[in-house]
Chains A and B, each alone.
Chain A
Amino acid sequence: MRRGRFTGYWLMLPAVVWLGLFFVIPFLSLLATSLYDPEGSVLTGYDVTYRFANFTDALGEFWQPLWRSLWYAGVATAICLVLGYLLAYAIAFKSGRWRTLLLVLVIAPFFTSFLVRTLSWKLILADDGFIVDALQTVHLMGEDGRLLATPVAVIAGLVYNFLPFMVLPLYASLEKIDGRLIEAAGDLYASPTRGFLKVTLPLSMPGVVAGTLLTFIPAAGDYINARLLGSPNQRMVGNVIQDLFTSTGDYAAAGALSVILMVIIVAMVMVYIRKAGTEELL
């Protein structure tokens, strides 16, 4: 049988249908929502009026939670990177026969619900919890100081919840590094520190890029941590969007804010990948 010149395209069909149904159509629908007439309501219905001012209105009104989201997600990602790199490095190079067990432990939290895990942080950080007690006992925190309802609590929650997304890609790229390359660096006069900076770290960049993206993107859009561990002062853009959609019924503003968040993240990711220079390593 002769292979037609369109065979390749036919093979792409399932993926194209999937993307069309679950990405392109919902995205166009969201885009349409962002251009609704803001006067509409659940009762009166909504019309697409191509009102681009929705975007500037949303930015003007909600720039603070938007900025806060990027800021919290950035800090959480940085902390995840440091903790995750140490953990992934230890598992990849130093764990010996404990390797599988440690990897299972990294994934183990996923067996419990995201909500339950975040709620338990509420107990850990509670005003009469042991962490606050301990900090007050050593006078690192005042008598009426608290962790809950502060940025610290929200960022701690984000770090905890997204750490596995950092560890796994980092581990995957560290584990792939040929140990002889590190030996070769030592043989060629690189101290362990130099060898790490010149060989191990550059070779693990694909994992660093993948891990930071997998952490930053969901963290920036997260609303559970701010909702459960924060106060209105820690509202993130996800909380705003959720309120606009479900309580206020302001679909136009909610849609506009969603599109803005998406555009910002895509732009940041593109600049980041360009800067990290890892296209060919990915």
Chain B
Amino acid sequence: MSLAADSSRSLRLTALTKEFSTFTAVKALDLEIPAGKFFALLGPSGCGKTTTLRMVAGLDVPTSGTIHLGDDEITYAKPYRRPVNTVFQNYALFPHLDIHENVAFGLRRRKAKDVDEQVRAMLELVELEGQARKKPPMLSGGQQQRVALARALINRPEVLLLDEPLGALDLKLRRGMQIEIKRIQTEVGLTFVHVTHDQEEAMTMADTIAVMNSGEIEQMGSPAELYENPRTTFVANFLGQSNLIAGTVSNAGSDVVKVDMQGTQVSIPADRAHVTSGPGWVGIRPEKVLIAPEGEPIDAPGNHMQGGVVTDVSFVGVSTQYLVRMPWGQELMSFEQNTGARGIIPRGTAVDVSWRPEFSFLLPASQDVNAGAVEES
């Protein structure tokens, strides 16, 4: 089943800006979203992602900049005149219409043919054919979510916007719906633009993620790219977690950049080093950090550091999360899979720490080391 009317048109935002009376929500945003992709705008609340989405939908008017769909400019087009549909946060289903009529709403406004036939097929796609004559409040959250999806999808928009569509669902249901929405997107082949603050959700669903912060895009790329090679401390902290350790570049080669990090020489691949001189933050993901009781061998050639002490141990089932205090006073996070190869290392144990140099990255020292980190509550 292919719904895409014309799949060759990409969505292009150019210098898009939205100012409200007291602050600038979106700052000169440039973005190109290729047709047929599942694109996620990821960021904390208030970063401007929803405002961006609303401008694409036509619900907010940009202060300046343009929005193009293919060659057509739609910056100031009325919402009911653009081939864009939205799945609203909290769904915004019409409470006075039954499920069938909710889904038929867009088709009826455009005086489409065979409306009932199309609605039935769409309800089948989202597995709600038995609920057609019920009113929205009688459905569960997950079912309402699928009605909202069906109501938007049936119009075969060129771009489908999803505004935190899963925020109101509980965790289990959310995981199920993520896979469901991804499956439907693959099936219909439309461009999906998904706004979320849940980094795991963005990584599960999207082909490409743009991380937004304070109205600007910090970094854009595939989930793996962003996770493995973040370019800012904000991305390093917001997308997963990172250990960021202060260091100074001692030698910048064409393949590797050598950094003096708290007395240890570490080598960082040049394409992952975003600083070539002076101080910087050496970053390493917690699951890449290996630890072993003092003197025992670690399977990670490279940066080998001694003198760590385990200060906290949390057992979370699939993995064990350690905090290790290093000689320079910083606590590093280390996640270890519970493969059963070794017992849990108790708190207070002296440990050695190591990681493969190709997994580390280097970020500018001028950036806030805590940017994007989840605040401890």
Contacts and interface: CB of A to CB of B under 8 A. Distances in A.
Chain B contact residues: helix, strand, loop or mixed: mixed
B96 A188 contact: no
Nearest to B105: A188
Contacts of B359: none
Interface in B221-257: none
A117 interface: no
B94 A199 contact: yes
13 contacts: A181-B94, A183-B59, A183-B79, A183-B92, A187-B57, A187-B79, A187-B80, A187-B84, A187-B152, A188-B152, A188-B155, A191-B78, A191-B80
Interface string B83-97: 011101010101110
A99 interface: no
B90 A186 contact: no
Contacts of A281: 96
B109 to A, nearest CB: 4
A269 interface: no
B109 A184 contact: no
Given A189-B110, A191-B80, A184 B86 contact: yes
Nearest to B79: A186
Nearest to B84: A187
Nearest to A181: B92
B109 A187 contact: no
Contacts of B152: 187-188
A226 B92 CA distance: 48
Interface in B54-93: 57-59, 78-80, 84-86, 88, 90, 92
B80 A184 contact: no
Nearest to B163: A180
A199 B79 CA distance: 16
Contacts of A31: none
Nearest to A199: B94
Looking at B58, B86, B94, the one whose CB has the most chain A CB atoms below 10 A away is: B94
Contacts of B59: 183, 186-187
A202 interface: yes
Contacts of B79: 183, 186-187
A191 B80 CA distance: 6
Interface string A75-113: 000000000000000000000000000000000000000
B95 A185 contact: no
Nearest to A177: B95
B106 interface: yes
Interface of B: 57-59, 78-80, 84-86, 88, 90, 92, 94-96, 105-106, 109-110, 151-152, 155
A190 interface: yes
A187 B94 contact: no
Given A180-B90, A185-B105, A187-B85, A203 B80 contact: no
Contact of A189 (B90, B92, B109): B109
Contacts of B110: 189
B195 to A, nearest CB: 15
Given A190-B105, A191-B80, A199-B96, 5 more contacts: A181-B94, A183-B79, A187-B79, A187-B88, A190-B80
A51 interface: no
A25 to B, nearest CB: 41
A191 B82 CA distance: 12
Contacts of B84: 187
Contacts of A188: 80, 85, 105-106, 109, 151-152, 155
Contact of B80 (A178, A180, A186, A199): A186
Contacts of A195: 80
A178 B89 CA distance: 12
A189 B94 contact: no
B95 A184 contact: no
Contacts of B92: 178, 180-181, 183-184
A39 to B, nearest CB: 57
A178 B96 CA distance: 13
A187 B88 CA distance: 10
A167 to B, nearest CB: 22
Contacts of A186: 58-59, 78-80
Interface string A171-212: 000000010110111111111001100110011000000000
Contacts of A190: 80, 105, 109
A180 B90 CA distance: 9
A199 B109 CA distance: 12
Contacts of A202: 96
Nearest to B85: A187
Nearest to B111: A189
Nearest to A205: B96
B96 A189 contact: no
Contacts of B95: 181, 203
A181 B89 CA distance: 11
A198 B96 CA distance: 10
Contacts of B86: 184, 187
Contacts of A194: 109
A28 B95 CA distance: 43
A58 to B, nearest CB: 43
A229 B88 CA distance: 54
Lowest 7 CB-CB distances: which A-B pairs, in order? A188-B106, A189-B109, A184-B92, A180-B92, A186-B79, A189-B80, A202-B96
Interface in A148-162: none
Looking at A180, A195, A199, A203, the one whose CB has the most chain B CB atoms below 10 A away is: A180
A190 B84 CA distance: 13
A190 B78 CA distance: 10
B80 A183 contact: no
A139 B317 CA distance: 91
Contact of B88 (A180, A199, A203): A180
Contacts of B155: 188-189
A225 B79 CA distance: 49
